[in-house]
Amino acid sequence: MADDRPQIYLITPPQIELSSFPDMLARVLDAEAVACARLDLATRDEDTILRAADAVRAVTEPRDVALVLRDHWELSQRAGLDGVHLADGARNVRAARKALGGDAIVGAFCGNTRHDAITAGEAGADYITFGPLGGAGAGAEVLADPDLFAWWSEVIELPVVAEGGLVEETIASLSEITDFISLGDEIWRHDDPAGRLSELAALL
């Protein structure tokens, strides 16, 4: 495979069982090279998030996989994680960067908005995410067009992540125009997440 193929960006399920998920995550990370993982829990309970962060970090850290937390940059810092992923575009990038410092990872989800993505980059984001690219209930007007990735990869140096509603055909078609492919529900809904990850990674 080409050395410049997209890297894998892993997203946790919105709810995890601490008695079993770390072992499952370990199998997934041992199956394929993963560049970054995102703890993306639905809960806003700080204690739950911090306990999950400790459990997940115990798996990612020995494998040299960066771990970021969705939105809560203060908790990310308290938990000793590598950074934060902001789901509201460029709005809080500058504040997160100021709080976390220059060495932390700060990413921003920018939907299908080119302007918001450029603004996030100018504010200090390390990567931006476009998506979703498909999925039930997603209207055509909110989907990120693959042409957006092609334009971004040609014009902008900041790394770009494809996220949301990814199917095999989409993953294969994006391989040359995105830096990262994010996988979450695409693997967790399967009985063998590690095996499914390997199947999808083979498309890159």
For residue 141, being part of any structural domain is answered with: yes
For residue 182, being part of any structural domain is answered with: yes
How many Å apart are CA 61 and CA 134, to the nearest integer? 32
Reduced to 3 states, what is the DSSP secondary structure of residue 117? helix
What percentage of the chain exceeds 70 in pLDDT? 96
Of 89, 132, 134, 80, nearest in space to 107 by CA: 89
Contact 133, 170 (CB under 8 A): yes
Contact 53, 27 (CB under 8 A): no
For residue 13, being part of any structural domain is answered with: yes
Residues of the chain short of pLDDT 70, as ranges, are: 1-3, 136-141
For residue 1, being part of any structural domain is answered with: no
Domain count, the chain: 1
Contact 49, 69 (CB under 8 A): yes
Print the domain residue range for 69.
Answer: 7-201
CATH number at residue 101: 3.20.20.70
Contact 99, 81 (CB under 8 A): no
**What pLDDT sits at residue 1?**
35
For residue 17, being part of any structural domain is answered with: yes
The total number of residues shown for the chain amounts to: 204
For residue 41, give both structure tokens. Answer: 């829990």
**What pLDDT sits at residue 2?**
44
**What pLDDT sits at residue 141?**
56
**What pLDDT sits at residue 66?**
98
